[in-house]
Amino acid sequence: MRPYFSAVEVHAAAREVGVGAGARLGEVATALRGTGLAAPVGVHPTVGVGLMLQGGLGRLARTHGLSVDAIAAAEVVTPDGNLRYLRAGSSGISMSAEDDELLWALRGAAPNFAVVTRVVLRCADVSRPVCAVRGAHFFAKDEDGAGGHNSALTLLGSYAAAADALPAVQSIDAIIGRDSRGALGIALQAVSLNADLRFPPEVEALLGVSASMAAAAECAVKCAYDDIPHLTLDGAPVVSDERDLTIEAKGTGAVGSACMARRSSKGDQGADGVLSYVRQRFVAALTPSALAAILDACGAAPTTMCCVMVNHCGGAAREAQADACFAPRDLEHSVVVIALWTDPSSAARAACVAWAEALDTALGACCPA
């Protein structure tokens, strides 16, 4: 029998899933696989479910809102030591005003009010096939006379414009970083929750091969929702175990020696021996100055494992919910600054922390929030 605090229980008829506070997102996805349901949580399997109590951004955010919006019930220990189960309208009985306020507070600020031992999430229907299209672009150091900076900035500007024009059922994310030789790289992944809906031409152009790129690779995968490959900096499809994926198209552009190390294996946050420090910021728009700041920082990062992830929000994630206290709703993108290093020395940590803090501060100065 699994420990209670890490147990995940699917209630398919009610379209809900109960999740213990010790479970990880990968365990939630595994439990829901094959049911045609998905919980609107994050995309990285090693992340704990605590993220859903303070926002929670995943691929369903643009159509179904943030994780906090999907919390139907919660089991908590309050400061007075009592174990309480909170569920609005449970068994036809209305909660007290105090419990109603507590459930409201848990949806966005849980650590300030109670210890959450279990949550129940409303699930979304993902029975239809989805499509993920991926591309990786690398810029040679001698490109454009500026170390590839100008070409990369042009690409990111096109990315920001394309993201703003997508319907809610589609999204496009990016990772910006460097390869072992110091060349800038940008990985893109566009996801359509409706595999029959084609991406706009400007998105297809971003994901295809262009003469201005030093190297490129593309791959389109039609699969079940839970089998969407994780976005890495090498552009290749990566899944956590052996599952059948229907490969519909694959480009022949070779990344070669410029290929970045896969974050999904040796360089991932949470992998053995990898230390991390993360800063995250919601922004209403990716301004040219913000994109330039990201590229400048990635070019000067203390390790080649450091990177910046830009996750597409908008859509339902921007809709304020009266029953949730999560406030920052005017958001179109989530910018995650990820410092990764393996040197255990205090000097290495200090350099990586300072790098992440400096970029986050710069983004705060040039991005509308």
* pLDDT of 106 strictly over 70: yes
Give pLDDT, residue 203. Answer: 86
Cα distance between residue 321 and residue 330, in whole Å: 13
**Pairing verdict, β 37-38 and 16-20:** unpaired
Distances (CA, A) of 167 to 129, 195, 315: 17, 13, 8
Instruction: State the chain's mean pLDDT as an integer.
Output: 80
Give pLDDT, residue 234. Answer: 61
Give pLDDT, residue 241. Answer: 39
- E-strand ranges in the chain read 8-11, 16-20, 37-38, 71-77, 83-87, 115-122, 124-125, 130-139, 170-178, 184-192, 215-223, 246-250, 275-283, 307-312, 333-341
Q: What confidence category does residue 111 fall into, taking pLDDT thresholds of 50, 70 and 90? A: confident
Give the residue-averaged pLDDT of 217-239.
Answer: 68
- E-strand ranges in 197-305 read 215-223, 246-250, 275-283
Which architecture does CATH list for 130-366?
3-Layer(aba) Sandwich (3.40)
Asked whether 27 and 5 are in contact (CB, 8 A), the reply is no
Percentage above 70 pLDDT, the chain: 81
DSSP 369: -
Tokens of 311: 């996750």
**Strand pairing partners for 74?**
86, 119
Check the CA dihedral 97-99-103-105 and report its sign.
Answer: positive
Percentage above 90 pLDDT, the chain: 36
Q: Pick the residue with more confidence: 229 or 268?
A: 229
Over residues 134-191, the pLDDT tens digits come to 887 877 666 666 667 888 999 999 999 999 999 999 999 999 998 777 788 898 889 9
Give pLDDT, residue 197. Answer: 85
Residue type, 351: A
Tokens of 110: 């849980």
Q: Within 13 Å and on the Cβ side, how many CA atoms surround 266?
A: 7
Q: Which fold has domain 4-125?
A: 3.30.465
Q: What confidence category does residue 268 fall into, taking pLDDT thresholds of 50, 70 and 90? A: low
pTM: 0.82
Over residues 57-81, the pLDDT tens digits come to 889 999 998 888 889 999 999 889 9
Q: What confidence category does residue 13 fall into, taking pLDDT thresholds of 50, 70 and 90? A: very high
Cα distance between residue 213 and residue 333, in whole Å: 25
Give the residue-averaged pLDDT of 298-303.
Answer: 93
| Strand, helix or coil for residue 343 | coil
Distances (CA, A) of 14 to 18, 28, 122: 11, 16, 8
Q: Pick the residue with more confidence: 355 or 106?
A: 355
Q: Residues with Cβ < 8 Å from 163, sequence gap 6 or more? A: 171, 172, 286, 312, 332, 333
Give pLDDT, residue 214. Answer: 33
Residue boundaries of the structural domains of the chain:
4-125, 130-366
Q: What confidence category does residue 290 fall into, taking pLDDT thresholds of 50, 70 and 90? A: very high
